[in-house]
Amino acid sequence: MNAAESKNRFSFEDTLKFENAVGFENKYSYEQDVVFEANSSGKKAIEVENLNLWYGSNQALKKISLDIPKNKIFSFIGPSGCGKSTFLRTLNRMNDMIPTCRIEGKVHIDSENIYGKEIDVTDLRKRVGMVFQKANPFPMSIYENVAYGPKIHGVSKKEIPKIVEESLQSAALWDEVKDRLKDPAFSLSGGQQQRLCIARTLAVKPEIILFDEPCSALDPISTGKIEELMTELKKEYTIIIVTHNMQQAARISDCTAFFLSGELIESGETVQIFENPRDKKTEGYITGRFG
């Protein structure tokens, strides 16, 4: 790597500077990663096997095979149009809704192929929740937004207030909204609305949460809160995030996968991908030479 490339490449120190700038408490360190690795169960949340996807005649994903470990944050990075969001959506069959979309291959969750005939897609989407780029609360109160999922899944009425409180607590929003639960969700700030959407996802007790660029519309302070929240949530959930922000991927994720033109170029521990990529294409992207 020459001097110019090395200047372009950001380090974990840079991410710490960013965190200090926005007053975000640093929770990540190499030492913690090592301890985390040692404590990690090593179990897989998702196993993807030879996945191909087409939109009409355009092949958007090519022979993707990837294991996603439990209770970690896994980032998908790559230039615009490389297939990150498409791949994310295959993990809870959100692409089913696109008529031109055709998929081949397997995605195992708990040893079950989610593309198998016997799969109940509603149940799958309960187990694999999704938070979108733009906060999308329902046009109802803060309380009703969180209560909605448990209600439609048949949870008894008396259990709902507890679930709403616990979900808002877990989404680090309870203290800010506990005195205004009947207010419309749209009265919250953008960052609060995104945390409300996370609370709504948590309320149906998923195992895995997919985040599709959850911070792209947020300021650095709100971004810091969401990132801190994700780090907290990985203790109980497997987190997968699509991000354009490579500093964000480096800051919060344990593992990273780099995509290019529908192919998975490289995946591994985030430190390895950012500090010592195996593939020249990954290095080119990380160092800002393309993308």
Ligand X SMILES: Nc1ncnc2c1ncn2[C@@H]1O[C@H](COP(=O)(O)OP(=O)(O)OP(=O)(O)O)[C@@H](O)[C@H]1O
Residue 1 has a CB neighbour count (10 Å cut-off) of 10
Tell me whether residue 48 or residue 168 sits nearer to ligand X (CB atom).
48
Is residue 98 close enough to count as binding ligand X by CB under 6 A?
yes
Which amino acid is present at 128?
Answer: V
Site string for ligand X, 188-227 (x = CB under 6 A): ----------------------------------------
Should residue 84 be labelled a site residue for ligand X when binding is judged by CB under 6 A? yes
User: Rule CB under 6 A: is residue 132 a binding residue for ligand X?
Assistant: no
| Cβ closest to ligand X, residue 170 vs residue 248 | 248
For 53-121, give the DSSP string: EEETTEEEEEEEEEEEETTSEEEEE-STTSSHHHHHHHTTTGGGG-TTEEEEEEEEETTEETTSTT--H
Residue 39 is a binding residue for ligand X (CB under 6 A):
no
Query: Looking at beta carbons only, is 261 or 272 nearer to ligand X?
Result: 261
Region for 172 from its dihedrals, namely left if φ exceeds 0, alpha if ψ lies in -120 to 50, beta otherwise? left
50-79: contacts with ligand X (CB under 6 A):
55, 60, 78
Residue among 68, 82, 229, 257 that touches ligand X (CB under 6 A): 82
Q: Where are the alpha helices (DSSP H) in the chain?
A: 3-8, 12-21, 30-39, 84-90, 121-127, 142-152, 160-170, 174-177, 190-202, 220-233, 246-252, 270-275, 280-286
Total chain residues near ligand X (CB under 6 A): 13
Tell me whether residue 200 is exposed, middle or buried, using C-beta atoms within 10 angstroms of its C-beta: 0 to 12, 13 to 18, 19 or more. Answer: buried
Interface region with ligand X, contact rule CB under 6 A, candidates 12-20, 39-47, 84-92, 103-111? 84-92
- Comparing CB distances to ligand X, the nearer of 81 and 190 is 81
Interface residue list for ligand X (CB under 6 A): 55, 60, 78, 80-86, 98, 100, 244
